[in-house]
Amino acid sequence: MKRRIGILTSGGDCPGLNATIRGVAKACYEKFGEDVEIVGIEDGYFGLINNMCKEMKQSDFSGILTTGGTIFGTKRTPFKKMQVIEEDNVDKVKAMKATYKKQKLDCLLTLGGNGTHKTANLLSTEGLNVIGLPKTIDNDIWGTSVTFGFHTAVDTATDVIDRLHSTANSHGRILVAEIMGNKAGWLTLYAGIAGGADMIVIPEIPYDIEKLAEACEKREQKGFSIMAVAEGAFDKTEAKMKKKERAKFRAEQGISTATSRIASQIEQLTGRETRVCVPGHMLRGGSPSAYDRVLATKFGVRAAELISKDKYGYAVAMINEKVSENPLEEVAGKTKFVPADDQMVKTAKEIGIVFGD
User: Can you spell out the DSSP letters for 133-169?
Assistant: EEB-TT--BTT-S--BTHHHHHHHHHHHHHHHHHHHH
Question: For residue range 93-146, what is the model confidence (pLDDT) as tens digits?
Answer: 999 999 999 999 999 999 999 999 999 999 999 999 999 999 999 999 999 999
Angle at 9 between CA 8 and CA 14, to 5 degrees: 160
Q: Do 12 and 113 meet the contact criterion of CB atoms below 8 Å apart?
A: yes
279 pLDDT exceeds 80? yes
3-state secondary structure of 79: helix
Question: For residue range 253-276, what is the model confidence (pLDDT) as tens digits?
Answer: 888 888 999 999 999 999 989 999
How many angstroms separate the CA atoms of 262 and 176, rounded?
Answer: 8
Domains of the chain: 3-148+288-331 (3.40.50.450), 154-284 (3.40.50.460)
Q: What is the pTM of this model?
A: 0.94
Catalytic positions are: 138
Which residues, including other chains, have CB under 8 Å from residue 183's CB and lie 6 or more apart?
Answer: 138, 140, 203, 232, 335, 337
